[in-house]
Amino acid sequence: MTDLKRVTPKFLLWLDMEMTGLKPTADRIVEVGAIITNWDFTELGQFESGVRQAEAELREKFGANAWAAARPNETEELIQLSLAAPAEADVEQQVIRLIDNVAGKDAIVLLAGNSIHQDRQFIRAWWPKLEERLHYRMLDVSAWKVVMQAKYNLEFPKKETHRALGDIEESIAELKFYLGKLGK
């Protein structure tokens, strides 16, 4: 068995999920985006999809969510995306296939993104097969943001689109921005 404490994965799985809320035991995943890169942040593959959930459950959970209530058009767009999407187990398998195709069938990848601990909780709750393919460590760009703002007064301008693939692309650009500032 490989000692994961001594292994640095060769690939980063940049992932973002849109959910009905922030409680992984009660809320559901409605959209996922994923980009696999190497450590030079070269995109090697990508995937995005809605995740089908029951309409009644979507409307109930989004209805109780203050963020969703303040953005009715975006919320309805996510609901419609979810209703037309593949089944959740199929979407999980497609993300795993992306890993297999880029990194290999036995590869362990490092999960990366902004506030990625939140997405990781949903992965643990709803996508256990994907969880098995992830290194125990994560690369959270939000931690970089805190350091760069507090120590260097640097802030990356974000669009805040709140769509999975766009959020990932921004996360990669944000980390590149911070690393570029450190190199100067």
Task: Cite the beta strand spans of 4-115 per DSSP E.
Answer: 12-19, 29-37, 43-50, 109-113
Predicted pLDDT of residue 1: 46
Name the helix (H) or strand (E) containing 55.
helix 55-63
Contact 51, 85 (CB under 8 A): yes
**Catalytic residue check, 136:** yes
Beta bridge partners of 113: 140
What is the rounded CA–CA span in Å between residue 123 and residue 125?
A: 5
Catalytic residue, candidates 8, 136, 160, 183: 136
pLDDT in single tens digits along all 184 residues of the chain: 455 556 789 999 999 999 999 999 999 999 999 999 999 999 999 999 999 999 999 999 998 888 888 999 999 999 999 999 999 999 999 999 999 999 999 999 999 999 999 999 999 999 999 999 999 999 999 999 999 999 999 999 877 666 899 999 999 999 999 999 887 6
Q: Which domains does the chain have, with CATH numbers?
A: 8-182 (3.30.420.10)
Residue 129 neighbours by CB distance under 10 Å? 12
Predicted pLDDT of residue 42: 97
What is the rounded CA–CA span in Å between residue 107 and residue 8?
A: 11
